[in-house]
Amino acid sequence: PSVAVIGLGYIGLPTAAVLASSGADVVGVDINQDAVDVINAGQVPFVEPDMATTVAGVVSQGYLQATTVTPHADNYIVAVPTPFTDGKKPDLSYIETAGKQIAPLLEGNELIILESTSPPGATEFLADTIFAARPDLTLKPGSAQSIYFAHCPERVLPGRIMIELRTNDRIVGTLNGEAGERARALYELFCEGEFLMTDARTAEMAKLTENAYRDVNIAFANELSMISDGLDINVWELIRLANHHPRVNILQPGPGVGGHCIAVDPWFIVATDPEGSSLIRTAREVNDAKPDFVLDKLLPQAKRIADVQIAALGLAFKPNIDDLRESPARQIVGRLADELPQANIMAVEPNIEELPSELDARENVTLTEMNEAVRAADIVLLLVDHNEFVRLDRTLLAQKIVHDTRGVWS
């Protein structure tokens, strides 16, 4: 089959590569000429384990090529960003642009799959965009002018994408006719998981539900940590004890929730039904407020020490990765730099070579080796439970003020 994958980001590129390595004839489309050139040279514009070798192989064998110009294909996979506007409304403009690019190319009988994480109704929006441009085509199945639509959300975990693309179960939600069977046949080229067939709206909502579920559960843990703090209770011991109950399984508190999914996706649900989503919204607010809680505890202590030295352990959004997107740790270090101009803030992040630009620009922040930073520090702030930090020689912490937001040393 011929497939055009629109959007060669964290999901589109690995999906294009895996499809191409499974025998499909794949063209990847992206507006970024640099990314297109890099891929056509058999290289990758971002790091994901095992992806580089797959891309190099399929490009050199001619199964995958990249372009900035959308071609005709029997199957389209749309994997473009669905960001949020400042007013916390989903921005569907990339989906709209993709639809407008595909519309003039259609000959009838094509399958169009939306993979981007989307608010309920986005697949219908994509179809409406296309039919507005092409009134000669129809959603009604079975004719030469029929176009088929499905939503197949990805649920792969960054760092394990190449494995999980093949092994995860796959939700296939459709708008019409044979869309489901055709989407399934395409994904079956590489996906060994179970196929779960439903309608497009339910599929859209399922993806959002998974991440909102996790967000609400983390918010519960974070709220407990703030309540426990006022009561002088060790929240990690509290949770460990409560989790001995056969039907209780509380997650772990931390300095906040980061990454590009869990901190974002619940807002799609809130935007869809603001009145009906008070729990999901509150969970988001609890998790978003956690960095402030950490700062409110730390700043008064730090301000009492002249020329205070702070070791901030971790910038990534979760352990043992180099991904700093939407990271609460990074946000906390930035706020420390704002609030403590006289301080020396030693950021420790073993997974990166240089600080992100907004921290690099600060006079009072440096990227420092772990033991050196901890030895020099008055205050040690643990923000990410990287393996290196868990294994830190604890005798180095004697005499220090310690803020352990992940509970690894308690």
Query: Closest CB to ligand SAJ among 132 and 241?
Result: 241
Residue nearest to ligand SAJ (CB): 261
Q: By C-alpha distance, which of 304, 298, 214, 212 is closest to 255?
A: 298
With contacts defined by CB under 6 A, name the span among 95-103, 141-149, 156-164, 197-205 that binds ligand SAJ: 156-164
Catalytic residue among 152, 191, 207, 318: 207
CA–CA separation, 59 and 20 (whole Å): 9
How crowded is residue 276: how many other Cβ atoms within 10 Å of its Cβ? 11
Q: Based on the shown chain and the rule CB under 6 A, indicate whether residue 25 belongs to the binding site for ligand SAJ.
A: no
For residue 401, give the amino acid letter: I
CB of 327 to ligand SAJ, least distance (A): 7
Catalytic residue among 152, 191, 261, 290: 261
Contact (Cβ atoms closer than 8 angstroms) between residue 11 and residue 115: yes
Secondary structure class of 245 (helix, strand, coil): coil
Query: For 155, phi and psi rounded to 5 degrees?
Result: -135, 30
With contacts defined by CB under 6 A, name the span among 50-58, 106-114, 248-256, 336-344 that binds ligand SAJ: 248-256
Among 157, 241, 242, 376, binds ligand SAJ (CB under 6 A): 157
Among 261, 337, 367, 382, binds ligand SAJ (CB under 6 A): 261
Q: Based on the shown chain and the rule CB under 6 A, indicate whether residue 209 belongs to the binding site for ligand SAJ.
A: no
Q: Which of residues 112-151 bind ligand SAJ (CB under 6 A)?
A: none
Cross-strand bridge partners of residue 170: 195
Query: Closest CB to ligand SAJ among 257 and 380?
Result: 257
Among 97, 145, 202, 252, binds ligand SAJ (CB under 6 A): 252
Q: Based on the shown chain and the rule CB under 6 A, indicate whether residue 158 belongs to the binding site for ligand SAJ.
A: yes
Angle at 334 between CA 329 and CA 339, to 5 degrees: 125
Q: Based on the shown chain and the rule CB under 6 A, indicate whether residue 214 belongs to the binding site for ligand SAJ.
A: yes
The pair of three-digit structure tokens given for residue 284, joined into one six-digit string: 């988001």
Query: Closest CB to ligand SAJ among 12 and 254?
Result: 254
Q: Based on the shown chain and the rule CB under 6 A, indicate whether residue 210 belongs to the binding site for ligand SAJ.
A: yes
The residues near 59 (Cβ < 8 Å, ≥ 6 apart) are 39, 40, 41, 42, 65
With contacts defined by CB under 6 A, name the span among 101-109, 255-263, 271-279, 299-307 that binds ligand SAJ: 255-263
Contact (Cβ atoms closer than 8 angstroms) between residue 51 and residue 162: yes
Binding mask 291-330 for ligand SAJ (x = CB under 6 A): --------------------------xx------------
Which secondary structure element, helix H or strand E, spans residue 380, and what is its range?
strand 379-382
Instruction: Provide the Cα torsion 137, 139, 141, 142; round to 10°.
Output: 0
Residue showing tokens 């169009």? 112
Q: Based on the shown chain and the rule CB under 6 A, indicate whether residue 251 belongs to the binding site for ligand SAJ.
A: yes
Active-site residue 207, yes or no?
yes
The torsion region of residue 14 among left (phi > 0), alpha (psi -120 to 50) and beta comes to alpha
Question: Which positions touch ligand SAJ (CB under 6 A)?
Answer: 155-158, 210-211, 214, 218, 251-252, 254, 257-259, 261-262, 317-318
Catalytic residues: 207, 261
